[in-house]
Amino acid sequence: MSVPSPDQKLFEEALDLFKQGRLAEAIQKAETLLRNHPDSEDGYEALAIFYSKVNRIDEAVETAKQWIRLNPQSKMARVNLSRFYLQKGLIAEAEHEQAEARRLSWVEELTQKKIAMPKVDPQEKIERFKKVIELDPNDVLGYYSLGDAYLEIQRFPEAVQAFTKGLEADPAHSSSYYGLGQAYQAIGEKERAKEIFEKGIRVADEKGDVMTMKKMQARLNQLSSERS
């Protein structure tokens, strides 16, 4: 039976304390782990999560950033940082980290296949999704993907049209409310965006779509706090 290394032993002890609900002690143990072993990625992940559980979100963010500085290729560091930003209501920052995590996943997958990262023309994507919709005019995912592609290249009025069509096909598709609200917000129709987010939050809550609901709530809070 192999003996765990000192850093692994501290990590396991911190996890045990966390599972017992002894969060303050778990945090102290994880902090000790990183002081003694500043290259422990397990330590950064554990400490960041422990901080978030006791609502020390700023410290969770900084710990995740330290993890990224240690390993810029860590997908999980980006995923966790995105969650912490979402808890702070920093939607743009959260979405940026989500996108970076996806990019790292794609790079890893493509590297394993030994092929180069393909460049997809935005207009090509739009035409592809239009063809999907032509085949099935009630395909809510086709409309959602089309709207998302329009958002990506800042063609916001067309994004509004696509998301609206999608919601006509499926009024319970919560992600389409999120996209439609973003599009209205981008063209300056703040009151309309608020209405969409409010309705989308109710739909997402009924469906149990917690992540999308939180995103819409954060954007709604942002709009409500802005001066008209």
| Same topology between domain 6-113 and domain 122-221 | yes
Q: Side chain identity at 212, as an amino acid letter?
A: T
CA contacts within 13 A on the Cβ side of 211: 8
How far apart CA 46 and CA 194 sit, in angstroms, is: 36
Asked if 195 contacts 164 with a C-beta cutoff of 8 angstroms, the reply is no
Dihedral sign computed on CA atoms, order 213, 218, 224, 228: negative
Reading the block at residue 186, the tokens are 């981008």
Evaluate if pTM is beyond 0.75.
no
Architecture of domain 122-221 in this structure = Alpha Horseshoe (1.25)
Successive 10-residue mean pLDDT values, the chain, 228 residues: 67 89 91 88 91 92 92 88 89 86 76 57 84 84 90 94 95 94 95 95 89 90 78
Question: What pLDDT, on the 0 to 100 scale, is given for residue 118?
Answer: 58
Q: Which two tokens stand for residue 181?
A: 């609200």
The pLDDT score that the predictor gives to residue 155 is 94
Supply the pLDDT for residue 100: 85
What is the domain partition of the chain in residue ranges?
6-113, 122-221
CATH architecture type of domain 6-113 = Alpha Horseshoe (1.25)
pLDDT the model gives residue 1: 41
